Amino acid sequence: MSLRRICRLGPCIIRNNYGRTEYECAYCYKTTTSLTALGQHCRDSAAHSWCCRCERVFPHARALNDHLKYSSSHNVCERDYCDEDFATYDEWARHNVDHHNWCRPCNWFARDQYALTLHDINQHFMCGKCGSFFQNDNNRRMTEGS
């Protein structure tokens, strides 16, 4: 008797073959004698794609890419040919600030550090001399004059 199930790895077929349990990959039909061996097959086989963080198998790269894009377990940077995957949104945000000139309050990317600095001065009342931010432009100008 065969039973198609979703295990931690993804879809697999579990069957009892004369008292011996077999595990079959639902994508390429490779049969193993243990769930551990099936997991190793899913990780190492070029026949499908593997997500290391979630320890799940996908039938092809497009399905894995959709998983990476829409899963709440992933925060993938898609800027400037960067495809790093971060465990948390905060790690992703810090990366974008540090490496891609991102203004978090505006959700805007500057072309370079100079453009981001000008943006911060004009939009967020940053002092060009000390780098401090102020509540309004009047407060900023008062400190720049002193």
Q: Could you tell me what percent of the chain has a pLDDT over 70?
A: 93
Percent of the chain with pLDDT over 90: 53
List CB contacts of 53: < 8 A, sequence separation 6 or more: 73, 74, 85, 87
Beta bridge partners, 7, equal 10
**Between 48 and 10, whose confidence is greater?**
48
Q: Report pLDDT digits (tens) over 97-145.
A: 999 999 999 999 999 999 999 999 999 999 988 888 899 888 888 877 6
pLDDT value of position 145: 66
For residues 101 and 110, give the distance between their C-alpha atoms in angstroms, rounded to a whole number: 5
Average pLDDT across the chain, whole number: 88
Check if the beta carbon of residue 146 is closer than 8 Å to that of residue 139: no
